[in-house]
Amino acid sequence: MIYRQAVFLDKDGTLIDNVPYNVNPDRIRLRSGAAEGLARLHQAGYLLLVVSNQSGVARGLFPESALAGVEARLRELLGRAGIPLAGFAYCPHHPEGVVEAFRAACECRKPAPGMILRLAGEHGIDPARSWMIGDILDDVQAGRAAGCRTILIDNGNENQWVPGLDRVPHHRAADLDEAARQILDHDNAGHSPP
Protein backbone atom coordinates (compact mmCIF):
# COMPACT_ATOMS: atom_id res chain seq x y z
CA MET A 1 0.00 0.00 0.00
CA ILE A 2 1.17 3.53 -0.75
CA TYR A 3 1.41 5.71 2.34
CA ARG A 4 0.68 9.26 1.34
CA GLN A 5 0.91 12.57 3.12
CA ALA A 6 -2.20 14.53 3.93
CA VAL A 7 -3.59 17.53 5.72
CA PHE A 8 -6.60 16.91 7.94
CA LEU A 9 -8.74 20.01 8.42
CA ASP A 10 -11.23 21.00 11.04
CA LYS A 11 -14.28 22.52 9.35
CA ASP A 12 -15.91 25.25 11.46
CA GLY A 13 -13.62 28.15 12.25
CA THR A 14 -10.72 26.65 10.29
CA LEU A 15 -11.90 25.91 6.76
CA ILE A 16 -15.17 27.86 6.82
CA ASP A 17 -16.60 30.73 8.83
CA ASN A 18 -17.87 29.50 12.18
CA VAL A 19 -21.67 29.67 12.17
CA PRO A 20 -22.70 27.44 15.10
CA TYR A 21 -24.73 24.36 14.15
CA ASN A 22 -25.20 25.59 10.58
CA VAL A 23 -26.20 23.05 7.93
CA ASN A 24 -27.62 25.59 5.44
CA PRO A 25 -25.31 25.38 2.40
CA ASP A 26 -26.12 28.99 1.47
CA ARG A 27 -24.48 30.20 4.70
CA ILE A 28 -21.23 28.26 4.19
CA ARG A 29 -18.27 30.45 3.25
CA LEU A 30 -14.58 29.62 3.01
CA ARG A 31 -12.48 31.54 5.53
CA SER A 32 -10.05 34.14 4.29
CA GLY A 33 -6.85 32.45 3.10
CA ALA A 34 -8.44 28.99 2.82
CA ALA A 35 -8.55 28.68 -0.97
CA GLU A 36 -5.04 30.07 -1.40
CA GLY A 37 -3.48 27.84 1.25
CA LEU A 38 -5.28 24.68 0.21
CA ALA A 39 -4.43 25.24 -3.46
CA ARG A 40 -0.78 25.45 -2.46
CA LEU A 41 -1.02 22.21 -0.48
CA HIS A 42 -2.90 20.39 -3.25
CA GLN A 43 -0.29 21.45 -5.81
CA ALA A 44 2.42 20.10 -3.50
CA GLY A 45 0.72 16.68 -3.45
CA TYR A 46 -1.05 16.63 -0.08
CA LEU A 47 -4.43 14.95 0.19
CA LEU A 48 -6.96 17.25 1.89
CA LEU A 49 -9.54 15.78 4.23
CA VAL A 50 -12.10 17.29 6.62
CA VAL A 51 -12.69 15.91 10.12
CA SER A 52 -15.53 17.64 11.96
CA ASN A 53 -17.40 17.20 15.22
CA GLN A 54 -21.11 17.59 14.47
CA SER A 55 -22.81 17.27 17.85
CA GLY A 56 -25.84 19.11 16.47
CA VAL A 57 -27.05 15.68 15.35
CA ALA A 58 -26.91 14.26 18.90
CA ARG A 59 -28.37 17.49 20.27
CA GLY A 60 -31.39 17.16 17.96
CA LEU A 61 -30.65 20.43 16.16
CA PHE A 62 -30.54 18.88 12.67
CA PRO A 63 -30.76 15.40 11.14
CA GLU A 64 -27.62 13.50 10.18
CA SER A 65 -28.81 13.57 6.56
CA ALA A 66 -28.31 17.38 6.49
CA LEU A 67 -24.54 16.86 6.53
CA ALA A 68 -24.63 15.56 2.95
CA GLY A 69 -25.54 19.09 1.83
CA VAL A 70 -22.69 20.52 3.89
CA GLU A 71 -20.19 18.16 2.28
CA ALA A 72 -21.56 18.92 -1.20
CA ARG A 73 -21.22 22.67 -0.58
CA LEU A 74 -17.61 22.28 0.62
CA ARG A 75 -16.76 20.22 -2.45
CA GLU A 76 -18.40 22.87 -4.65
CA LEU A 77 -16.53 25.79 -3.06
CA LEU A 78 -13.18 24.02 -3.16
CA GLY A 79 -13.83 22.66 -6.65
CA ARG A 80 -14.27 26.21 -7.97
CA ALA A 81 -10.68 26.82 -6.87
CA GLY A 82 -9.47 23.55 -8.44
CA ILE A 83 -9.01 21.88 -5.05
CA PRO A 84 -10.27 18.30 -4.65
CA LEU A 85 -11.46 17.17 -1.24
CA ALA A 86 -10.18 13.62 -0.73
CA GLY A 87 -12.34 12.85 2.29
CA PHE A 88 -15.00 14.14 4.65
CA ALA A 89 -15.66 12.60 8.05
CA TYR A 90 -17.89 13.79 10.86
CA CYS A 91 -18.78 12.67 14.34
CA PRO A 92 -22.52 12.95 15.10
CA HIS A 93 -22.13 11.88 18.74
CA HIS A 94 -22.14 13.69 22.04
CA PRO A 95 -22.25 12.08 25.50
CA GLU A 96 -25.00 14.50 26.57
CA GLY A 97 -27.04 14.26 23.37
CA VAL A 98 -30.83 14.19 23.44
CA VAL A 99 -31.10 11.81 20.46
CA GLU A 100 -30.54 8.42 22.01
CA ALA A 101 -28.99 6.84 18.91
CA PHE A 102 -26.20 9.44 18.98
CA ARG A 103 -25.80 9.91 22.73
CA ALA A 104 -22.40 8.31 23.26
CA ALA A 105 -18.82 8.77 24.30
CA CYS A 106 -17.05 7.57 21.18
CA GLU A 107 -13.65 7.22 19.58
CA CYS A 108 -14.48 9.55 16.68
CA ARG A 109 -15.31 12.77 18.53
CA LYS A 110 -12.27 15.03 18.75
CA PRO A 111 -10.10 15.15 20.85
CA ALA A 112 -10.16 11.39 20.12
CA PRO A 113 -8.30 10.48 16.90
CA GLY A 114 -10.91 8.12 15.42
CA MET A 115 -11.90 10.16 12.35
CA ILE A 116 -8.28 10.85 11.42
CA LEU A 117 -7.24 7.22 11.83
CA ARG A 118 -10.24 5.94 9.85
CA LEU A 119 -9.58 8.27 6.91
CA ALA A 120 -5.85 7.51 7.05
CA GLY A 121 -6.60 3.81 6.74
CA GLU A 122 -9.12 4.30 3.93
CA HIS A 123 -6.78 6.51 1.88
CA GLY A 124 -3.39 4.95 2.56
CA ILE A 125 -2.18 7.96 4.51
CA ASP A 126 0.85 7.96 6.79
CA PRO A 127 -0.15 10.08 9.82
CA ALA A 128 3.52 10.68 10.69
CA ARG A 129 3.96 12.45 7.32
CA SER A 130 0.70 14.35 7.74
CA TRP A 131 -0.75 17.36 9.52
CA MET A 132 -3.89 18.28 11.46
CA ILE A 133 -5.02 21.91 11.36
CA GLY A 134 -7.73 23.24 13.65
CA ASP A 135 -8.82 26.28 15.59
CA ILE A 136 -9.14 24.71 19.05
CA LEU A 137 -6.89 22.52 21.16
CA ASP A 138 -9.20 19.50 20.84
CA ASP A 139 -8.14 19.49 17.16
CA VAL A 140 -4.48 19.59 18.20
CA GLN A 141 -4.98 16.76 20.69
CA ALA A 142 -6.73 14.60 18.08
CA GLY A 143 -3.95 15.22 15.59
CA ARG A 144 -1.22 14.40 18.09
CA ALA A 145 -3.04 11.23 19.22
CA ALA A 146 -3.18 10.09 15.58
CA GLY A 147 0.54 10.76 15.15
CA CYS A 148 0.22 13.90 13.00
CA ARG A 149 2.03 17.18 13.30
CA THR A 150 -0.35 19.98 14.25
CA ILE A 151 -1.12 23.63 13.61
CA LEU A 152 -3.48 25.77 15.68
CA ILE A 153 -5.28 28.48 13.73
CA ASP A 154 -5.01 31.10 16.44
CA ASN A 155 -8.15 33.09 15.63
CA GLY A 156 -9.65 33.40 19.11
CA ASN A 157 -11.97 30.39 18.90
CA GLU A 158 -10.13 28.45 21.61
CA ASN A 159 -11.65 29.62 24.89
CA GLN A 160 -10.96 26.80 27.35
CA TRP A 161 -7.16 26.43 27.17
CA VAL A 162 -7.16 23.11 29.02
CA PRO A 163 -3.44 22.38 29.49
CA GLY A 164 -1.52 19.26 28.58
CA LEU A 165 1.52 18.29 26.52
CA ASP A 166 -0.77 16.50 24.06
CA ARG A 167 -2.55 19.81 23.43
CA VAL A 168 0.50 21.89 22.47
CA PRO A 169 0.51 22.62 18.72
CA HIS A 170 3.70 22.17 16.74
CA HIS A 171 2.97 25.53 15.04
CA ARG A 172 0.48 28.38 15.17
CA ALA A 173 -0.90 30.36 12.22
CA ALA A 174 -3.39 33.15 11.61
CA ASP A 175 -5.18 31.32 8.76
CA LEU A 176 -4.91 28.39 6.35
CA ASP A 177 -2.70 30.32 3.95
CA GLU A 178 -0.09 30.90 6.65
CA ALA A 179 -0.49 27.30 7.86
CA ALA A 180 0.12 25.98 4.33
CA ARG A 181 3.31 28.02 4.06
CA GLN A 182 4.50 26.64 7.40
CA ILE A 183 3.80 23.07 6.32
CA LEU A 184 5.61 23.47 3.02
CA ASP A 185 8.56 25.26 4.61
CA HIS A 186 8.83 22.56 7.27
CA ASP A 187 8.48 19.57 4.95
CA ASN A 188 10.63 21.03 2.17
CA ALA A 189 13.39 21.64 4.69
CA GLY A 190 13.50 17.89 5.29
CA HIS A 191 12.45 17.90 8.93
CA SER A 192 11.59 14.44 10.14
CA PRO A 193 8.25 13.72 11.81
CA PRO A 194 8.11 14.24 15.60
Catalytic residues: 10, 12
Contact 5, 48 (CB under 8 A): no
Helix (H, G, I), strand (E, B) or coil at 9: strand
Helix (H, G, I), strand (E, B) or coil at 184: helix
Q: How far apart are CA 133 and CA 25, in angstroms?
A: 22
The partner residues of 12 in beta bridges, in order of sequence, read: 16
The partner residues of 133 in beta bridges, in order of sequence, read: 9, 151
Contact 112, 142 (CB under 8 A): yes
Helix (H, G, I), strand (E, B) or coil at 118: helix
Considering Cα of 115, then 117, then 122, then 128, what sign does the dihedral take? positive
